[in-house]
Structure 1
Amino acid sequence: MPVQHDIAAERDLWDAYASSTRNDVTDAEPVFNWTQYQGHGPGTEILGNPASALEIGCGTGRALAHLAQRGIRAKGVDLSPVMVANTTKRWGPLGVEFVCAEVLEFLAENRATYDAVYSVFGAAWFTDPSRLFPLVAARLNPGGVFAFSHPPAIPGAHGPQGMYKGGFAGPAMFTYRYSYKPQVWARFLTRAGFRDPEVRTLDAPTPGHIGTLLATAIKP
């Protein structure tokens, strides 16, 4: 059953997250990781050889900075104005453009297209895929790559999942993330018009630790 996102409340949540991770922006170096484990898993080759890339839910912007250093036109969209201000100050000199917007509105209203659109523990995890994926497809050039990663679903827990910020104390700040089996993610991609969907779970570097779901698909 669809859930109703309170965008204003979620913006407050992501502003709080941005404030707590400020040092991850100001003191960080560019890096591109699909998984939650530093130096683990594949790299930017997942995106092919794009001339332009859009990250949806770009967070600290470190991945975009890495792409910009490789000569790729890099743009990120994030819901938090605090995060966008921090990342613009840190990575803007590299040529990265950051936009503060709700991702569905941005993709529907902004007509620019890209060779790659991706999400690393970002908007593809926190946005209804039945609404998001068709908009992503519309923003990709033919042959472009859509790729995203986030933790795999907990067994038996599928669909939208509520998530509180912090340690279950303090103001009730929450959002929704979306969890499905790999074959369900692949169906969402196919229904949105993508071809060759591949959705798999990468094992963690330590046996028994949480893996990473990684999905890719191509715009015909």
Structure 2
Amino acid sequence: MTPALAWERFATKAKPRRAVNAAGATTWLNWTQYPDHGPDESILGDLRGKRVLELGSGSGCNLAHLATLGARCTGVDIAPSREVAAEQRWGRVPELEFVTQDVADFLQESADDFDVVISIFGATWFTDPAVLLPLIRKRLAPGGVLVFSHNDEVDDDAQSDRAIRKWNFSGQQWAEMLFIAGFVSVSSEIIPPPKPELPGTLLVRGAAPR
């Protein structure tokens, strides 16, 4: 099974995001795997007029929120039904587009630079970082930032032979790989879960030199 087919099958089982969150908002960004938990988009700074790229944009809910804040947003996902679902729900939001493509291929072929690249339990978790991180770095504008999150449990089986593979590393491991790829101002933190018996969320940040 190809990765595209595997992700398409996964997408068909995904539940749509709620119409409103606990605060009554119709759009919002959530870095963790738990609803109404953890930091919001404010960690990205002022997004007005910024070019934002999301790798593994799914149904587009997180990215649509950033577009409502004035960002110019592009979402890339390998599963065709994700683009369809995102367009159906968010197609009327200005400065927001969705693309069906492997993220590495998109980054290789794109001529655009981005101020912010995000991936929330998305493609940075499921793409070989030796391939992906240098491609992201090349597409970041000077001073641009990459911020991504995934489950904080280190997976010793990350390189197993599966259609969908995880690169589930520690913050220190990601820092080393980001520095090698040319990023600066690298940092990471673990966002505690809402209940102690649950896994936390690793949040990683790196920047392009100015």
Amino acid at match of 1:65: A
2:80 and 2:166 mapped to 1: Cα distance?
20
Runs of 4+ in 1 over 4 A off after TM superposition: 25-29
What is the CA-CA distance between 1:26 and the residue it aligns to? 9.2
For 2:29, give the aligned amino acid. F
From the superposition, tell whether residues 14 and 158 of structure 1 become closer, same or farther in structure 2 (CA, over 3 Å): closer
Q: 1:218 to 1:158 in 2, by over 3 A?
A: farther
Tell me the equivalent position of 1:143. 143
- Structure 2 CA distance, aligned partners of 1:145 and 1:161? 30
Q: Aligned equivalents of 1:26 and 1:210: distance in 2? A: 22
Secondary structure in 2 matching 1:24: coil
Secondary structure of 2:164's counterpart equals: strand
The 5 Å alignment of 1:147-158 reads 147-154=147-154, 157=156
In structure 1, the partner of 2:46 is: 49
Hey, what does 1:188 align to over in structure 2? 177
CA distance in 2, matches of 1:147, 1:208: 26
Confirm or deny that 1:24 pairs with 2:23: no
Q: 2:197 matched to which residue of 1?
A: 208
1:39 aligned to which of 36, 39, 42: 36
Structure 2 residue runs without a partner (length 5+)? 21-25
* 1:143 Cα deviation from its structure 2 partner: 0.9
CA distance in 1, matches of 2:195, 2:121: 20
Q: Which amino acid aligns with 1:118?
A: I
CA drift at 1:160:
2.6
The one-letter code matched in structure 2 to 1:197 is V
Instruction: Give the match for residue 133 of structure 1.
Output: 133
Contact 2:150 2:168 in 1 (8 A): no
Shift of 1:161: 4.8
TM (normalized to structure 2)? 0.89
Q: CA deviation at 1:150?
A: 0.5
Q: Give distance in 2, aligned partners of 1:126 and 1:32.
A: 21
Alpha-carbon distance between aligned partners in 1 of 2:10 and 2:18, rounded to the nearest angstrom: 15
- Structure 1 residue 30, shift from structure 2 partner: 2.5
Whether the aligned pair in 1 keeps the contact of 2:154 and 2:170 (CA below 8 Å) is: no
What's the offset of the Cα at 1:27? 5.5
Aligned counterpart, 2:57: 58
Work out whether residues 151 and 213 of structure 1, in 8 Å CA contact, stay in contact via their aligned partners in 2: yes
For residues 77-130 of structure 1, give each alpha carbon's deviation from its aligned partner in whole angstroms, at most 9, with x where no partner exists: 000111111111211210310011111110011010111001000000000111
- The 1-side partners of 2:63 and 2:167 are apart by 24
Query: Hey, what does 1:103 align to over in structure 2?
Result: 103
Instruction: Report SS of the residue matched to 2:27.
Output: coil
Report the TM-score, using the length of structure 1 for normalisation. 0.85
Q: Give yes or no for the alignment of 1:86 onto 2:75.
A: no
Range with bigger deviation, 25-34 or 135-144:
25-34
Gaps of 5+ in 1: 1-5, 164-173
What is the CA–CA distance in structure 2 between the aligned matches of 1:36 and 1:60, rounded to whole Å?
15
1:113 aligns with 2:106: no
TM-superposed deviation, 1:208: 2.4
Distance 2:190 2:17 in 1: 28
Percent identity between the aligned chains?
Answer: 38
Measured in 2, the distance between the counterparts of 1:161 and 1:40 equals 31
